Structure 1
Amino acid sequence: MPVIQSTYKPRFYLKNGFISTVYSGLFRRVKAVHQKRERLTLSDGDFIDLDWSLSNNNSNKLIILLHGLEGHAQRPYITGAAKLFNDNGIDAVGVNFRGCSGELNLKYRSYHSGSTDDLMDVIQHIIFTTQYSEIYLKGISLGANIILKYLGEGNRIPEQIKAAIAVSVPCDLEGAAKEMLSLKNILYHERFKKYLVERLKSKQAQFSDFLSVEDIKSIKTIIDFDDVYTSKAHGFKDANDYYRKSSSLQFLQNIEKPTLIINALNDSFLSPECYPVKDAKTNPNLYLEMPNHGGHVGFIDKKNVYYNERRALEFIQDVLK
């Protein structure tokens, strides 16, 4: 499909990518979302927690929401989408990746940008235990890459999956990782690294035979983190091997479900390869929208409903007409 012309026009003081990103990450609040937690045992015996919010109308429609790096299902970009969909008669479930729901997971492994196996467990669980006939997927950043990879890497996609939305997605992981090391992203980088290292210290206390204190001290960048932990804990040779095999960019041509990608042109986290114009023009199931503004998950709009949330609802309504 041709690239979609975006209609997102924020107020002048929100056009700056840094301001929109920081405000959305640190200051946005979403109220009146009532979540109920369910613990799901995964195929390997580990667990993740699912946070459900229902529309109170016995809906047969559900949206599965995946968060970004070091996020969780109470982040405003998850609860904001859940509230909008609930208000429009669609149930929502926010997935907390392993170790992201306030309790350390049981295994040495945790989650990463290409861990589609956990998403498959979640979808299988929902299909086997509920009556939803229409299921949609929406991911933010890391969660968006997981969704795109899941849809295009050759899995059998259940017929209940009708559409997907990927927001601020680093579909070329190596390029995005290098962007994070640039001077313009130093504040973001240091914040992410701090949280990743702190979590890894708890993991090291659990699994001292796998990871040493010296290993953690050697981490100076997020690429180091992926070299020391992410790659080794999840079966990759090193960070570059992890980036190469987990990037969703290589799988976009195989996507057969209607899928919308929304990547802002002023998203400082994304490399040029993260704007897959060629794939969108040659795959009739892939829609690419590139607003001039929005930063990284910073699509601030009216009445605390973000543009990417409204567009996700519109896209689902349009493709199912």
Structure 2
Amino acid sequence: MTGQLHPADFRPPRGLANRHVQTLLPRLLPRRRLPHRVEILELPDGDFVELAWAHPAPADPAAPVFVLFHGLEGSLHSPYARELLATAAGLGWRAVLMHFRGCGRLPNRLPRAYHSGDTADAYWLIGQLGQRYPRALKVAAGVSLGANMLVKLVAEQGGDGLDLAGAIAISAPLDLAASAETLHRGFARVYERHLLASLKARTAARLDALPLALDRAALAALDSLRDYDDAVTAPLHGFAGAEDYYRRASAGRLIGELELPTLLLHADDDPFMPPGLFARLPSPGDAVRVEVARHGGHVGFMERRGGRLRSWLARRVARQLEDWSRPAGGQAWPDRRRVSRSGS
């Protein structure tokens, strides 16, 4: 597998290569301004998700569409979300972020939440966009949890099952059990505690309405993401426990089945995942390109350009969007052939 990895062209600034520095830098810098409008998208089961559309949108209904799925406890306010949406909008794309259930301004209606393998809402959104903009080229991107979800969705639907020209997965925790274990060790526990506090606060606010055998004291006592997934995520969404959830929701086992052109961007020093992540996964299909940087942290990838700290992710995603939107395009990569569902 390692022979099929491509080195990413990301180079950290001198003195800023440390994985924790890279992970935290985007959260310490001023946030990108992003004018937007909010839409409530009703779902087939009676719940809803909130969409954030970059504003103003292109007037042409055939303008390409960029769909973004955020990470665990992320939202439009996440630095990467604003950066990537603004980048796509600046290229003339219609850019939209889907908040997972309960991650927008309003709590969701049903006694459930969201998880790393929950592909139904994203599938519904992409279908709705296909109806609204039938002539528009569409690309989806996911970050962290949203990246794992997107890879799983692409694998489930095959090469022709989604109205997408391509998918981009950034810092995807493709082995959820390994990520949970990694986040419970050393300095990474800082990230785990931050995520866990947000998850527990959101759950506590709705605990009386949730079908959980859990009181507030037991919720507060949960000490790891694995404990939380075992006590909350798994029972809320029909899994037997954390191990069953991790096994069924992890998308890494499916990367050999991807038929849609898919770009995976990863840093080997990502503190949310074990080093050498792709060495433990199946070989990807011909439609997949995996780019691994030596440094970058988790959704960090901050470089110095023009004397300022800037997002390499935004630059790399912009290049990919331009490649896929070329009229003469149609191939996944210069040296790779897109595989059809029939394999021909």
TM-score w.r.t. length of structure 1? 0.92
Code of the aligned partner of 1:47: F
Q: Which moved more, 1:136-145 or 1:76-85?
A: 76-85
Q: For residue 157 of structure 1, report the CA deviation from its aligned partner.
A: 4.4
Does the CA-based 8 Å contact 2:69-2:141 persist in structure 1? Answer: yes
1:170 to 156, 168, 173: 173
**Secondary structure, counterpart of 1:225 in structure 2:** helix
Q: Which moved more, 1:304-313 or 1:270-279?
A: 270-279
Task: Check if 1:190 corresponds to 2:199.
Answer: no
**Secondary structure, counterpart of 1:50 in structure 2:** strand
Q: How many residue pairs end up in the alignment? A: 319
Does the CA-based 8 Å contact 1:268-1:295 persist in structure 2? Answer: yes
Q: For residue 25 of structure 1, report the CA deviation from its aligned partner.
A: 2.8
Q: Which moved more, 1:68-77 or 1:234-243?
A: 68-77
Q: Can you give the 5+ residue segments of structure 1 that lack an aligned partner in the other structure?
A: none
Alpha-carbon separation, structure 2, partners of 1:275 and 1:234: 28
Q: Which moved more, 1:104-113 or 1:234-243?
A: 104-113
Code of the aligned partner of 2:145: L
* Equivalent residue number for residue 258 of structure 1: 261
Does the CA-based 8 Å contact 1:175-1:273 persist in structure 2? Answer: no
Code of the aligned partner of 1:30: R
Alpha-carbon separation, structure 1, partners of 2:312 and 2:86: 14
Q: Can you give the 5+ residue segments of structure 2 that lack an aligned partner in the other structure?
A: 330-344
Task: Check if 1:46 corresponds to 2:47.
Answer: yes
Alpha-carbon separation, structure 2, partners of 1:80 and 1:108: 32
Q: For residue 259 of structure 1, report the CA deviation from its aligned partner.
A: 0.6
Alpha-carbon separation, structure 2, partners of 1:26 and 1:274: 27
Alpha-carbon separation, structure 2, partners of 1:296 and 1:228: 26
Does the CA-based 8 Å contact 1:46-1:105 persist in structure 2? Answer: yes
* Equivalent residue number for residue 202 of structure 1: 205
Question: In the TM superposition, what whole-angstrom CA distance separates every residue of 1:167-207 from its partner, at most 9, and x where no partner exists?
Answer: 11100000001001011312111111111111110120333
Q: For residue 56 of structure 1, report the CA deviation from its aligned partner.
A: 3.1
- After superposition, residues 301-320 of structure 1 pair within 5 angstroms as 301=303, 302=305, 305-319=310-324, 320=326
Q: Which moved more, 1:141-150 or 1:195-204?
A: 195-204
2:290 to 288, 291, 294: 288
Alpha-carbon spacing, 1:165–1:277, altered in 2? closer, same or farther (3 Å): farther
* Equivalent residue number for residue 300 of structure 2: 298
Alpha-carbon separation, structure 2, partners of 1:130 and 1:108: 32
Question: In the TM superposition, what whole-angstrom CA distance separates every residue of 1:111-166 from its partner, at most 9, and x where no partner exists?
Answer: 10000011111111211223452110111000000000000124674463001111
Code of the aligned partner of 2:289: Y
Alpha-carbon spacing, 1:255–1:276, altered in 2? closer, same or farther (3 Å): farther
Does the CA-based 8 Å contact 2:179-2:274 persist in structure 1? Answer: yes
Question: In the TM superposition, what whole-angstrom CA distance separates every residue of 1:258-287 from its partner, at most 9, and x where no partner exists?
Answer: 11111101111112463258745x511111
- After superposition, residues 1-321 of structure 1 pair within 5 angstroms as 2-31=4-33, 33-53=34-54, 54-58=56-60, 59-154=62-157, 157-158=160-161, 160-207=163-210, 211-272=214-275, 274-275=277-278, 279=282, 282-301=284-303, 302=305, 305-319=310-324, 320=326, 321=329
User: Is the helix fraction higher in 1 or 2?
Assistant: 1
Does the CA-based 8 Å contact 1:84-1:305 persist in structure 2? Answer: no
Alpha-carbon separation, structure 2, partners of 1:273 and 1:249: 13
Does the CA-based 8 Å contact 2:49-2:100 persist in structure 1? Answer: yes
CA RMSD, 1 decimal: 2.1
Alpha-carbon spacing, 1:209–1:81, altered in 2? closer, same or farther (3 Å): closer
Alpha-carbon separation, structure 2, partners of 1:279 and 1:311: 25
Question: In the TM superposition, what whole-angstrom CA distance separates every residue of 1:279-303 from its partner, at most 9, and x where no partner exists?
Answer: 45x5111111111111000011335
Code of the aligned partner of 1:315: Q
Does the CA-based 8 Å contact 2:258-2:288 persist in structure 1? Answer: yes
Code of the aligned partner of 1:95: M
